[in-house]
Every structure is written in structure tokens, then in C-alpha cells.
Chain A
Amino acid sequence: MTAINPHGSSLNHAILSVLVQNRPGVLARVSSLFARRGYNIFSLAVAPAEDDAQSRITIVVDLESAPLEQMVKQLFKLVDVVKISELDPRRSIERELLLATVRAGSSERSQIVELVNIFEAKILAVGGDALTVSLEGHPDKLDDFEELLGGYSIVELQRTGRVALPKLDRAARLRAATTPGNGNDNQRKVG
């Protein structure tokens, strides 16, 4: 994690959508590979995919920690990894969820509610002097919301890490996560 971009919301990241066999220990295999080889992860989200036998892991990786090509190739050496796609942020739908509990005394409450309205966030719970709010949306939007909430007193905050799928317009395509010129990308199912 870097201090500047804790969610990888700039150009130094790439999004890998990794389809794995849904087996015990598969997440440990992926995360220990990243740890062992010194690859940085900004965020990681995992859940069963459309086929119950498989899970999809969405990993936002730090491109300053290692070349993307090496990350992808090392990942693909894991026997349980079925498919890896690099999602180009410009051609993907990215979403993330943020939950935050903010101290909201009488003087701040209306300002926070206004902020919630501007961002089309939701108030999930109301306490005597605090609010729990949620926002779903593009991670950049969450970054802005989080920054503005930071002007108040945040008690707890949790983000899910991003999930992503390719856009459905005619430009939608998943780029092979290999360099051009390596003529042997036939083994990596893409798209």
C-alpha cells in the first residue's frame, strides 16, 4: 500500500480479473504468490463466479512493485488459475462499496446529510450522535466522498475493494495480459 493512492486510483495500477477453481486454499495460493514475489496489491475482492465451481478474484495491482507481465505469468503458473484477464480501466465498469460511520452532532448533521445527497449516497443507520452511510460507485467517486467525509470525524470506514467487468459497448474487449510479440499467448483464454 502506498500512502498517496491507497486504493490504486491512478495510472499506477492495473486490474486483473482472475478466474480460479473454487477450491480450499486458492485465495491463499494467490496472496502468498504476491507476497513471496514482492508484488503489491491495492485491493482484492473474491466471490463465486457465474459457475459455482469457479471464483472470480479481482485484484488491483501496483505496477510500481513489478512488471504486470511477470505478475500475470507467475499467477498463471498456479494450477488452480483458469483464466486471467487484464481489464483496461477505460474499457471496464468498475464498482466499489464504501461504508462509513461518521460522528454527526447537531452542528454537523445537516452538512453530512447534504454531502450524502450530493453523492447520492445512503444513510443506513442513525445514532444519537453518529450516522452510518454507504456509497456504491466508481472507486474515484468513493475517493472523493471519502476525502470530503474526512472533514468530519470518521469513526470507522470500510471499503470493499473494486470489482470490475468489461464494458458492453463495441469497444469492449479484454486485452491479453501478455506483451505483444510473445507468440505464445494461445494458452491464456482471453475474452
Chain B
Amino acid sequence: MNTENQISEGQIMTGAQALIHALELEDVDTVFGLPGGCILPAYDPLLESSIRHVLVRHEQGAGHMAEGYAHVSGRPGVAMVTSGPAATNLVTPLMDAYMDSIPMVAITGQVGTGAIGSDAFQECDTVGITRSCTKHNELVMSADDIPLAIRQAFHIATTGRPGPVLVDLPKDVLQNQMSWHWPTDEEVAASLPGYRPTSKGHPRMVAEAARMILEAERPVLYVGGGMLKARAAEVLMELAELTQIPVVTTLMARGVFPDNHPLCLGMPGMHGTIAATTAMQRADLLIALGARFDDRITGRLDGFAPDARVIHVDVDPAEQGKVRRPDVPIVGDCRLVTTDIVASLRSLLDGGTTQADVGPWRSQISGWQEVFPLTYDAAEPGGALKPQYCLERLRDSAAPGTIVASGVGQHQMWASLHWHFNEPYTWVNSGGLGTMGFAIPAAIGAKMARPDAMVWAVDGDGCFQMTAQELVTAAVERIPVKIALLNNSYLGMVRQWQEMFYDERYSEVYLSVDTPDYVKWAESMGCVGIRVESPEEVQPAIDKANSINDRPVVVEFRTDASEKVFPMVPAGCTNDDVIVHPSQQDQRAQLG
């Protein structure tokens, strides 16, 4: 950071200079944002900073870019916008980051301290509005407080259960003079007496968990996004291979355990694989690691995993018992706790304790995998493209380590199911909030954090139209992301529900097959646009897209609107009531 060594304790500067300097000291290399009235003072010292600013076309884009950046790098994403409408435009990404525990720091301008509460131009109660969609937020009322507020924000955003933190900075606070002081770790800790995240699991609980794991005959490792946040992929592999316990990775955890590993059952839940969902359902022990028993995982709760005891490891004490009462609750950092569990298992095994035979259980699961693989009907000759086919071609043509971002809906489920996630931090999606339009800005943020990696956004036509303008940002800022647009001309997931549960009464789900013209739109935004309508065009289009590295590419696949996501557990049903693909219906009885 270029100014780092030039600033000394007690140096007089403006609040805005202190802000930018504080960001540099927090190792921020990229800020996603858009200037405006109240945040103007902060954009001036930015000209002298080493920080790369990405100028977005809508503040929501800045927030999702910060999320995408954080998803793939583990470092907090930073968004900076002005007051009023800019702050309210950040609400969706803040909530998204809050739901998915994404470390993020949002900096918003605010009207001058003297004008607060007067309904001034572009004033809104930002800290009030964002109170329930941030881990913490703060209105800073003095320039002298800026460095501490920024340090606290990064500390809170990245420790314990990560999440978004917002710092609201009135214009005069940015303009006023202050005397530079960079708070020490001790000062930060002392300023937050109520914030003490637990990292070390309780030894007695860890030992109990290890005993329970060795006793289980039908155990499942139920792995959630918390394991990615805790950077626990390696120790997870150690635990799985030591115990030979099968692993399910939730939508938020895809990639933390490689899909190509024999123990991996893929994604469980509403649209999970039959093997993953059924294994959880029939388990006698669920080892939940950084997972929160979301309703999309459990289905109807009173019928979920009825015979399973539960070990629940989570850094957030409030997740313990929120949904399912654990038999062994362990609050702590998922990586540290899992490491302790592995050590405890090893000492038990070394001491002569034997593990129950999980062989029959694994055979039973293998049977489900063989009978109920992911499947779809091939396209009729001359018929519309199958979205799954397009994704498979895309997957098999992608470089190892390709990062996939997705929007929300059918395409998201197909991407999660059909991609092979063999590395952590290669899957970026909106899990908890389900934010349509997430893919494009998130992919841009991911590409900024990992410029070496190929980044594909898998998007639907409904999602694409919500945030496509950020492709202008990507083109102008030379961020070469690739968009696979699965255009079925419908809000596909809603259409699927209306087909299956509302007697095919389609209400307000048809968009348009050719309006907008996605190729022209892509080209007008400075991207390469390619349209694909027949199977033989699929591979050449993907190859062409993969060869372009100087600008964004949009490949529009015209896909079959009648295609549905299977398996599916209907809302309100238990996971025993899963609907298999129609072609597997004859075998359905084998699931019991």
C-alpha cells in the first residue's frame, strides 16, 4: 500500500483520508462502488490510493460484487456508496451476505451530522434500515472515530460467524480534520466488550462426539457453508477418510469436499440427489459441520431424519437447537473443532476402540446412487436444447478450478447438481436469501479476486434482466467474465411449481423468448454475444467463449421451457416424499 509508510501517529488529515488509509491498512485491494453527494469527500483521496475501484452501474451490483469477491477469496469484500437511495440499494446484498455469512464491509455516505433527522436531500436512516440485515452497523459521528470504526468493522465481519458490517459516514465527518491513530488489537478488543466469538470447542463435547461417531452404523457428514468459511476442507477430508463416513455438501458448501470422491453424495435437500437426501433421512447419526438445518435441507421438520442423533458443530451458539435439538452441541470454529474431533478419534482408535462397521450402510447408499443417478430426457431431434446438456458441455470444457457463479432458480439447481465441484471456493451462489440477479455481479467480484481463474456465471433469463447492466461495468473495467444464459423464456422455477402444484395454471411466468435480443444487448454492453439454438452449436459456442479473454462473453442457450428440476421434495412434505425423475418412477418403490 503506497501511503502506508508515509503516515505517522498524530498526523493531521481529513476523515476521508483516514478512511482510505484505514482501508489500505486492512489490506483492501479492491472497492466496488459508485460515488454521490455525501460520499464525495472519500472519492478524492481514492485518486492517490493503490486501491482499485470498480465503478458499478447500480449499487446493488457493488454489494454482490463484494460478496463474490469474498466468496472465492475468504477476504472481506468492500462496497462504498453514497447516502439515501444508494444505501437502500445496498439492502439486498447486505441481507444476502447476512443470510449466507459472507464477510463484507459496506461504507455509506450520510448527510452532514447537523442535517441528520431533518429529511435532508438523499437522507435515509441507513443504520436503522440495515439493522436487521447486518451483523453490525455503526454511524460514525466524529472524524477521530473513523480508524476504530473501520478496524471494528473488519474485525467483526471476518471473525466468529462472518457477516456484513456497515459503516455510515456523514459528509462533514469525512471532511473534518482528525489526528491519525491506528488502534491496536487491544484497543479494538476493549472497544467491543460484548464481542467474544468462541473458537475452541469444549473438550468434553468433542470427546463425546468422537465416541458417538465410532458407535454409529449409519452416519452422515452433513457439511454446510461454515466449513468453507472456516477453511476446513483439508481436515474434513481427513475426517471422512479416517472414518469412511459419506459426505453430503449443502448448496452453500459445494466444493468443500470433492464431488469426484467416492464418499461424496453431493447436495441434499429439496432438489438434492436421492442418495444424499435419503442418506440423511435414514441416518442414525448426523454430524452437522457448519450447517444450519435450513428448511430446504430438512423438508417438513417433524419427519426429518427421525432416527438420527445429531452432533452439531457451529461457531454461532444461536444455531444450536434453533431448528433441531442436537445431542452433542459444539460451539467453535469448524476447522479447529473438526481437527480436535479427528485427534480424539485417533486416540480412541489407538486405544483399541473399534469403529462400528459402516460397510452395509455404504453399500445401501451405493445402491441408491446406482438406481437413482441424476438424469434427464435427451432432447427430441429438432427440439429445444436441454439445459442440463448445455451445463454438462460447459462443465466438461472448463479448465480445472473454474469458478461458477449462479443466480437463483432452476439454473442454480442444475448448476449445483450437474457441475463437478472438486475444489473449494469454486461455487458462488445466493443460498439463504435466494437473490435473483446475483450471478453477474457476483461473478465480476469473483473474477476481481481471482483474475487467474476462469469465471462462468450460469444465469437464467429472469435473473439476467435484473442485473445485466453490470456487464457494462465488466466490459469497461476489462473484467472478462463469461455468462451462460439459459434462456427458457420463463421464470422457470415458478413455472415448475405452477405446473406441478397449481394444475398447470401459468400465472405471470412467461417473459419472452426473443425480447430482449440478448445477443444485441450483450454486444451493446461491450461483450461478445453468441446465440445457441441447436445441440451441434453448443460445443463450438463454448469453445469460442472459453477462448475469449479480453472481454465478457454472453452465450445465450435457448432451452426447453418444460424441463423441470428433479429430484424434488414438494414444499410441506418430508424428505421421504421425494419425487424422482419420471424415468425412475418404476424404481421408486426401492426407496421404501
Contact = CB atoms under 8 A, between A and B. Distances in A.
Interface stretch (B189-197, B280-288, B351-359): B189-197
A96 interface: no
Interface in A59-85: 67, 69-70, 73-74, 76-83
Interface string B102-128: 000000000000000000000000011
B128 A28 contact: yes
B321 A179 contact: yes
Contacts of B196: 187
A32 B132 contact: yes
A33 B131 CA distance: 9
B131 A182 contact: no
A70 B319 CA distance: 9
A70 B201 CA distance: 20
Given A79-B156, A179-B321, A29 B131 contact: yes
B136 interface: yes
Interface residues of B, number: 29
B318 A79 contact: no
Interface stretch (A4-12, A19-27, A113-121, A165-173): A19-27
Contact of B194 (A21, A178, A179): A21
B198 A186 contact: yes
A184 B194 contact: no
Contacts of B193: 21, 82
Nearest to B316: A77
Contacts of A74: 318
B332 interface: yes
B93 interface: no
A138 to B, nearest CB: 30
B205 A79 contact: no
Interface of A is mostly: mixed
Contacts of B195: 79
Interface in B184-219: 192-198, 201-202, 204-205
B194 A81 contact: yes
A69 B321 contact: yes
A183 interface: yes
A128 interface: no
A20 B195 CA distance: 11
A47 B373 CA distance: 62
B329 A181 contact: yes
A90 interface: no
B401 interface: no
B463 interface: no
A54 to B, nearest CB: 8
A77 B315 CA distance: 11
Contacts of B139: 24-25
Contacts of A78: 194
Contacts of B320: 73, 182
Nearest to B203: A183
Interface in B121-153: 127-128, 131-132, 135-136, 139
Interface in A1-53: 20-21, 24-25, 28-29, 32-33, 36
A188 to B, nearest CB: 9
Given A20-B194, A21-B194, A182 B322 contact: no
Given A83-B194, A184-B198, A187-B196, A32 B131 contact: yes
A69 B132 CA distance: 20
A182 B132 contact: no
B194 A80 contact: yes
B317 interface: yes
Contacts of B132: 32-33, 36
Contacts of A77: 135, 316, 318
A187 B329 contact: no
Nearest to B127: A25
B427 to A, nearest CB: 27
Contacts of B202: 183-184
A119 to B, nearest CB: 40
A80 to B, nearest CB: 6
Contact of B317 (A25, A32, A73): A73
Nearest to B163: A77
B330 interface: yes
B318 A28 contact: no
A101 B196 CA distance: 48
B310 interface: no
A69 B329 CA distance: 13
Contacts of B192: 79
Contacts of B322: 70
Contacts of A178: 317
A82 B193 CA distance: 6
Interface string A78-114: 1111110000000000000000000000000000000
Contacts of A70: 318, 321-322
B198 A187 contact: yes
Given A70-B322, A80-B194, A183 B317 contact: no
A79 B159 CA distance: 12
A25 B135 CA distance: 15
B194 A182 contact: no
Nearest to B205: A183
B329 A182 contact: yes
B317 A79 contact: no
A96 B196 CA distance: 33
Interface string B299-324: 00000000000000000111011100
Interface in A113-140: none
A17 to B, nearest CB: 14
A182 B328 CA distance: 8
B403 interface: no
A24 B331 CA distance: 30
A182 B331 contact: yes
B336 to A, nearest CB: 12
B97 to A, nearest CB: 15
| CB-based closest 10 A-B pairs | A183-B202, A184-B331, A73-B318, A82-B194, A79-B136, A183-B205, A81-B194, A79-B195, A73-B317, A182-B329
21 contacts: A24-B139, A25-B131, A28-B128, A29-B131, A32-B132, A67-B321, A70-B318, A76-B317, A77-B318, A78-B194, A79-B136, A182-B320, A182-B329, A182-B331, A183-B202, A183-B329, A184-B201, A184-B205, A184-B329, A184-B330, A184-B332
Given A70-B322, A182-B317, 15 more contacts: A24-B139, A25-B139, A28-B128, A32-B132, A33-B132, A77-B316, A78-B194, A79-B192, A81-B194, A82-B194, A183-B331, A184-B202, A184-B205, A184-B330, A187-B196
Interface of B: 127-128, 131-132, 135-136, 139, 156, 192-198, 201-202, 204-205, 316-318, 320-322, 329-332
